[in-house]
Amino acid sequence: MRRFGKIVVMLMCCLLLSPIAVHATESNTSGSIEEDINSGSSTKTSDVDEDDTDDTKKESEEESEEESEENTKEINSKIMLCDNWVIPTVTYGQKVNIVLPIANMDKYDITDVMISPVISTDTATFPFEIEKTGYTVQLTELLGTNYNSDPLERRQEVTYTFKARDDISTGYYEVNFNVIFTNAKGVEETATITTYVKAIGKRGSGSNANATSVPRVIVTGFETTPADVRAGEDFTLTLHIKNTSDITDISNMKCDLIAATDGTDENAVTEAFLPKQGSSTIFLDHIGKGKTKDISIEMNAKASLTQKPYVLSVKMEYEDELYNQYTSDANVSIPVLQEARFELSDPEVMPASIEVGSESNVMFSIYNTGKTTMYNVAVKFEADSVTGGDTYVGKIQTGETGNVDAMLTGQAATSDDGTIKILITYEDEAGNPTTVEKTMNLNVAQQMEVPDDIGVGLEDEMMEESDSSPLVIIIIVIVVIAALAGVIVFFKLKKKKKEQMLENELLEEIDEDFTDTDIDSIYEQTETIDEEEDAEEPQKEGDDNEIS
């Protein structure tokens, strides 16, 4: 019992002294930790400084690498713009077409080309209204120099239509486009192409180049005489030039007209429109404030032009009242029509002559020998003697052939030389129809009527033929005589055979069944039968006569 009490006392003492021991242990531990921290602080600080220096170097190196990569992407020389288009001019609130003649300058083809403008709400960066959710244009491929060394032949033109903002300033704006494509190794690359647009802002809107007020001269319109300009023909071009300034007159104006080039051979490339006389430069001495003057020039359109609009650039140089010199550019598009030309093969008509109600097959080919596509080609046949044959051929490309296979039905006998009109109708790219007339020959005869007494007529004809031919008569007589002889012989033999058979039967019956006293009666019966057969013989002879 005493031992148990001692144990209890000792446990109580331990419980009371344990918090003090724990506190002492923690204080010692914290002291040692602080010492360790203090002893190692200098080492850690130096390590951190070294790490920070390394990280700073790495970050600067990575930033320089990223900047170099971005610069490399922007200066990618594989994608470039050709120089066959002029910089467009746009007035505030108006629309303008920006054409990107893109060419691949690498020797290998590139694919999956994605082009999109760099859009911004800042007018100074992007002077156009943002009217769409996306402006991306995709091209399947761009051919490299291995295909053709001439970039103008490899180029593909992408056209964007933008509307200028109302708050733009007058001056030139840079318009950037991002291009993403896949190279020949299947690696995706990027590039940036840049073009420019000349903007004309509202009066008082200022200039993005901080320039003074400039008198603007624009081309408000043009006319051609004749109205339709055809390849290979002459025409007169009249331009309406207006001085939009209400502050100053302009004078000493020189206008240079430069047409787009046409042709693929470098040695044969010329302008699409050439002046008939002199040069393509025109001089105007004066245009008053807000006034318009016309200039005219006689030109010729090259015969090799294809049917499409051709751009004519107007470069203008002039002075204001203080003799300050200015320049201005404008463009007009002149549609050129190419006369459709085609040839027909000789129509094949089978048969070449038919009766009323019969059909004839007509086949021929249409060769498009011109420089323009023929659309909705259709063929009709016109004549009083035939019907039907309408044929739709469809589109015939340049250098291709359309085939016509028609069936014509005769409806009346031909009253003339058998001429049938072939009307060939086609449309141009604008949907204007043209009809060309050709001819062919097909004779239609009246259908022959078969009379009811055709048998009698045939017999009479045979009789006439027999009368006119002694040999035929002799043959007919011989055939008739032979037939009669055959019939007579046949009946004679038949009669003789019948008598012989009857006589044999009677003799057998006499020998078997009859006595000598009945022989006389049997002979009497035989004589009676002979008399009956003799009586029938004249009738048969009469029949023979009828047969003859």
Q: Are residues 139 and 232 in the same domain?
A: no
Torsion sign (Cα): 256, 257, 259, 261:
negative
Q: How many angstroms separate the CA atoms of 246 and 430, rounded? A: 41
pLDDT, averaged per 10 consecutive residues of the chain (548 residues), comes to 57 55 42 40 40 48 47 62 88 92 90 93 92 91 89 90 92 93 91 92 61 80 92 94 92 93 63 88 93 94 88 93 87 90 92 90 93 92 92 93 94 88 90 91 81 54 55 79 76 71 68 54 59 55 43
Q: Is residue 381 part of a domain?
A: yes
Q: Is residue 211 part of a domain?
A: no
| Tally of structural domains, the chain | 5
Q: Are residues 322 and 354 in the same domain?
A: no
Q: Which amino acid is at 360?
A: S
**Residue numbers of the domain that contains 34:** 1-72
Q: How many angstroms separate the CA atoms of 81 and 193, rounded? A: 7
Which of these three, 37, 53, 72, is where a domain ends?
72
The rounded radius of gyration (Å) of the Cα atoms in the chain is: 57
Task: Quickly count: other Cβ atoms within 10 Å of residue 497's Cβ.
Answer: 10
Q: Are residues 427 and 522 in the same domain?
A: no
- Quick check: helix, strand or coil at residue 462? helix
Q: How many angstroms separate the CA atoms of 408 and 427, rounded? A: 25
Helices (H) and strands (E) in the chain, counts: 5, 30
Q: Are residues 238 and 305 in the same domain?
A: yes
Q: Is residue 207 part of a domain?
A: no
Beta-strand runs (E) in 143-216: 156-163, 171-182, 188-200
Q: How many angstroms separate the CA atoms of 454 and 370, rounded? A: 60
Q: Is residue 398 part of a domain?
A: yes
pLDDT of residue 28: 43
CB 368 within 8 A of CB 398: yes
Strand partners of residue 103:
80
CB 100 within 8 A of CB 81: yes
Which of these three, 200, 227, 256, is where a domain ends?
200
Q: Is residue 92 part of a domain?
A: yes
Q: Please report how the helices 470-513 and 454-467 are oriented relative to each other, as an axis angle in degrees rounded to 10.
A: 100
Q: Is residue 450 part of a domain?
A: no
pLDDT of residue 49: 45
Please state the φ and ψ torsions of residue 134, each to the nearest 5 degrees.
-155, 145
Q: Are residues 191 and 268 in the same domain?
A: no
Q: What is the DSSP letter of 448?
A: P
Q: Are residues 97 and 193 in the same domain?
A: yes
Q: Are residues 223 and 312 in the same domain?
A: yes
Q: Are residues 331 and 233 in the same domain?
A: yes
pLDDT of residue 13: 56
Q: What angle do CA 13, 17, 21 make, to 5 degrees?
A: 150
CB 217 within 8 A of CB 257: no
Q: What CATH number should be reported for the domain holding residue 278?
A: 2.60.40.10
Q: Is residue 208 part of a domain?
A: no
Q: What is the largest CA-CA distance in the chain?
A: 192
Q: Are residues 90 and 191 in the same domain?
A: yes
Q: Is residue 453 part of a domain?
A: no
Q: Are residues 161 and 50 in the same domain?
A: no
Which of these three, 420, 445, 470, is where a domain ends?
445
- From 210, 188, 196, select the one nearest 114 (Cα to Cα): 188
* Pairing outcome for strands 234-243 and 79-81: unpaired
Q: Are residues 236 and 124 in the same domain?
A: no
Q: Are residues 85 and 168 in the same domain?
A: yes
Predicted TM-score of the model (pTM): 0.40
